[in-house]
Amino acid sequence: MDAAAEGALIAAARRGDRGAFGILVERYRDRLHRVALGLTRGSADAEDLAQEAFVRAYGGLGRFRGDCAFYTWLFGILLNVYRRWVRRRARVRQHVVNTQTDAPDLAPLPNRQAAAKDELERALSVIDHLPPKLREVLVLRHLEEMSYVEMARAIGCRVGTVRSRLHRAREQLAARWQRVRGE
Protein backbone atom coordinates (compact mmCIF):
# COMPACT_ATOMS: atom_id res chain seq x y z
CA MET A 1 0.00 0.00 0.00
CA ASP A 2 1.48 3.34 -0.97
CA ALA A 3 1.44 6.51 1.12
CA ALA A 4 -1.43 8.05 -0.86
CA ALA A 5 -3.68 5.03 -0.34
CA GLU A 6 -2.81 4.95 3.35
CA GLY A 7 -3.50 8.68 3.61
CA ALA A 8 -6.91 8.13 2.02
CA LEU A 9 -7.68 5.38 4.55
CA ILE A 10 -6.63 7.61 7.43
CA ALA A 11 -8.82 10.44 6.12
CA ALA A 12 -11.78 8.08 5.75
CA ALA A 13 -11.21 6.69 9.25
CA ARG A 14 -11.15 10.25 10.63
CA ARG A 15 -14.59 10.76 9.09
CA GLY A 16 -15.82 7.72 11.01
CA ASP A 17 -15.34 4.97 8.41
CA ARG A 18 -14.62 1.95 10.60
CA GLY A 19 -13.94 -0.20 7.57
CA ALA A 20 -11.06 2.07 6.55
CA PHE A 21 -9.60 1.85 10.03
CA GLY A 22 -10.10 -1.93 9.92
CA ILE A 23 -7.87 -2.08 6.86
CA LEU A 24 -5.18 -0.13 8.75
CA VAL A 25 -5.54 -2.51 11.69
CA GLU A 26 -5.14 -5.52 9.40
CA ARG A 27 -2.06 -3.98 7.85
CA TYR A 28 -0.27 -3.33 11.15
CA ARG A 29 -1.74 -5.92 13.52
CA ASP A 30 1.05 -8.48 13.23
CA ARG A 31 3.84 -5.93 13.51
CA LEU A 32 2.26 -4.24 16.52
CA HIS A 33 1.62 -7.56 18.22
CA ARG A 34 5.22 -8.66 17.57
CA VAL A 35 6.54 -5.52 19.26
CA ALA A 36 4.14 -5.94 22.20
CA LEU A 37 5.22 -9.56 22.53
CA GLY A 38 8.84 -8.51 22.54
CA LEU A 39 8.12 -6.04 25.32
CA THR A 40 5.92 -8.21 27.52
CA ARG A 41 6.92 -11.79 26.68
CA GLY A 42 3.32 -12.76 27.39
CA SER A 43 1.00 -13.56 24.53
CA ALA A 44 -2.17 -12.51 26.35
CA ASP A 45 -0.58 -9.30 27.63
CA ALA A 46 0.80 -8.53 24.17
CA GLU A 47 -2.62 -9.00 22.60
CA ASP A 48 -4.22 -6.75 25.23
CA LEU A 49 -1.62 -4.02 24.72
CA ALA A 50 -1.87 -4.14 20.94
CA GLN A 51 -5.66 -4.00 21.10
CA GLU A 52 -5.60 -1.07 23.51
CA ALA A 53 -3.12 0.73 21.23
CA PHE A 54 -5.49 0.34 18.27
CA VAL A 55 -8.43 1.59 20.33
CA ARG A 56 -6.44 4.64 21.44
CA ALA A 57 -5.24 5.22 17.87
CA TYR A 58 -8.81 5.18 16.59
CA GLY A 59 -9.83 7.68 19.23
CA GLY A 60 -6.81 9.84 18.54
CA LEU A 61 -6.86 9.90 14.74
CA GLY A 62 -7.63 13.60 14.85
CA ARG A 63 -4.24 14.17 16.50
CA PHE A 64 -2.29 12.34 13.79
CA ARG A 65 -0.52 15.15 11.95
CA GLY A 66 1.15 13.03 9.29
CA ASP A 67 4.65 14.30 10.07
CA CYS A 68 5.77 10.70 10.50
CA ALA A 69 4.65 7.37 9.10
CA PHE A 70 1.36 6.05 10.46
CA TYR A 71 3.02 2.93 11.84
CA THR A 72 5.61 5.06 13.67
CA TRP A 73 2.78 7.02 15.29
CA LEU A 74 0.98 3.77 16.09
CA PHE A 75 4.08 2.29 17.73
CA GLY A 76 4.40 5.46 19.80
CA ILE A 77 0.91 4.85 21.10
CA LEU A 78 1.80 1.22 21.85
CA LEU A 79 4.85 2.35 23.82
CA ASN A 80 2.71 4.70 25.89
CA VAL A 81 0.24 1.89 26.57
CA TYR A 82 3.15 -0.39 27.49
CA ARG A 83 4.63 2.18 29.89
CA ARG A 84 1.26 2.56 31.61
CA TRP A 85 1.02 -1.25 31.83
CA VAL A 86 4.49 -1.41 33.45
CA ARG A 87 3.53 1.23 36.03
CA ARG A 88 0.29 -0.62 36.87
CA ARG A 89 2.16 -3.89 37.30
CA ALA A 90 4.71 -2.23 39.56
CA ARG A 91 1.93 -0.83 41.77
CA VAL A 92 0.24 -4.22 41.97
CA ARG A 93 3.52 -5.90 42.94
CA GLN A 94 3.98 -3.40 45.75
CA HIS A 95 0.57 -4.25 47.22
CA VAL A 96 0.48 -7.98 46.68
CA VAL A 97 2.70 -10.16 48.81
CA ASN A 98 3.65 -13.73 47.95
CA THR A 99 1.92 -13.83 44.59
CA GLN A 100 2.35 -16.91 42.55
CA THR A 101 3.36 -16.70 38.93
CA ASP A 102 3.19 -19.37 36.32
CA ALA A 103 6.69 -20.75 36.12
CA PRO A 104 7.77 -22.10 32.77
CA ASP A 105 7.52 -25.84 32.40
CA LEU A 106 11.05 -27.07 32.88
CA ALA A 107 10.26 -30.76 32.84
CA PRO A 108 13.24 -32.94 31.92
CA LEU A 109 13.91 -32.97 28.20
CA PRO A 110 16.62 -34.67 26.20
CA ASN A 111 20.00 -33.15 27.08
CA ARG A 112 20.40 -30.86 24.08
CA GLN A 113 16.86 -29.54 24.25
CA ALA A 114 17.11 -28.98 27.99
CA ALA A 115 20.35 -27.05 27.58
CA ALA A 116 18.90 -24.92 24.79
CA LYS A 117 15.76 -24.21 26.81
CA ASP A 118 17.84 -23.29 29.84
CA GLU A 119 19.99 -20.97 27.73
CA LEU A 120 16.90 -19.33 26.24
CA GLU A 121 15.32 -18.82 29.67
CA ARG A 122 18.52 -17.23 30.95
CA ALA A 123 18.70 -14.94 27.91
CA LEU A 124 15.07 -13.86 28.29
CA SER A 125 15.62 -13.33 32.00
CA VAL A 126 18.51 -10.98 31.19
CA ILE A 127 16.28 -8.95 28.86
CA ASP A 128 13.47 -8.92 31.44
CA HIS A 129 15.75 -7.17 33.92
CA LEU A 130 16.33 -4.20 31.63
CA PRO A 131 14.43 -1.04 32.51
CA PRO A 132 11.40 -0.58 30.22
CA LYS A 133 12.88 2.35 28.30
CA LEU A 134 15.97 0.33 27.43
CA ARG A 135 13.92 -2.74 26.51
CA GLU A 136 11.79 -0.57 24.22
CA VAL A 137 14.71 0.56 22.09
CA LEU A 138 16.09 -2.97 21.85
CA VAL A 139 12.76 -4.33 20.66
CA LEU A 140 12.20 -1.53 18.15
CA ARG A 141 15.72 -1.77 16.77
CA HIS A 142 16.27 -5.52 16.68
CA LEU A 143 12.77 -6.91 16.35
CA GLU A 144 11.14 -4.22 14.22
CA GLU A 145 14.40 -3.07 12.59
CA MET A 146 13.36 0.56 12.90
CA SER A 147 15.82 3.31 12.05
CA TYR A 148 16.99 5.65 14.77
CA VAL A 149 14.79 8.41 13.37
CA GLU A 150 11.71 6.15 13.36
CA MET A 151 12.49 5.01 16.90
CA ALA A 152 12.87 8.61 18.08
CA ARG A 153 9.50 9.55 16.58
CA ALA A 154 7.78 6.48 18.03
CA ILE A 155 9.24 6.99 21.49
CA GLY A 156 8.91 10.76 21.43
CA CYS A 157 12.51 11.73 22.04
CA ARG A 158 15.62 12.84 20.16
CA VAL A 159 17.77 10.55 18.03
CA GLY A 160 20.67 11.10 20.43
CA THR A 161 18.53 9.83 23.28
CA VAL A 162 17.66 6.72 21.27
CA ARG A 163 21.34 6.10 20.55
CA SER A 164 22.35 6.48 24.19
CA ARG A 165 19.52 4.25 25.42
CA LEU A 166 20.43 1.58 22.90
CA HIS A 167 24.08 1.80 23.92
CA ARG A 168 23.18 1.51 27.62
CA ALA A 169 20.82 -1.38 26.89
CA ARG A 170 23.53 -3.29 25.05
CA GLU A 171 26.07 -2.59 27.80
CA GLN A 172 23.68 -3.74 30.52
CA LEU A 173 22.77 -6.83 28.51
CA ALA A 174 26.42 -7.74 28.03
CA ALA A 175 27.31 -7.19 31.69
CA ARG A 176 24.31 -9.10 33.01
CA TRP A 177 24.81 -11.89 30.48
CA GLN A 178 28.40 -12.31 31.70
CA ARG A 179 27.17 -12.59 35.29
CA VAL A 180 24.42 -15.07 34.34
CA ARG A 181 26.76 -17.21 32.24
CA GLY A 182 29.33 -17.21 35.04
CA GLU A 183 26.89 -18.60 37.61
Using CB atoms within 10 A of its CB, is residue 169 exposed (0-12), middle (13-18) or buried (19+)? Answer: buried
For the chain, domains (ranges, CATH) are 1-97 (1.10.1740.10), 105-183 (1.10.10.10)
**Does the pLDDT value for residue 90 go beyond 70?**
yes
Question: DSSP secondary structure string, 137-167?
Answer: HHIIIIIS---HHHHHHHHTS-HHHHHHHHH
Q: What is the pLDDT of residue 109?
A: 47
Q: What is the pLDDT of residue 178?
A: 79
Give the integer Cα–Cα distance in Å for 79 and 156: 10
pLDDT in tens, 22-50: 999 999 999 999 889 888 877 788 999 99
Q: What is the pLDDT of residue 55?
A: 92
In angstroms, the Cα distances linking 71 to 39, 144, 146 are 17, 11, 11
Q: Band the pLDDT of 108: cuts 50, 70, 90.
A: very low
Q: What is the pLDDT of residue 116?
A: 57
Q: Band the pLDDT of 144: cuts 50, 70, 90.
A: confident
What is the average pLDDT score of the chain? 81
Instruction: Give me the percent of the chain exceeding a pLDDT of 90.
Output: 29
Q: What is the pLDDT of residue 1?
A: 76
- Does this model's pTM top 0.75? My answer is no
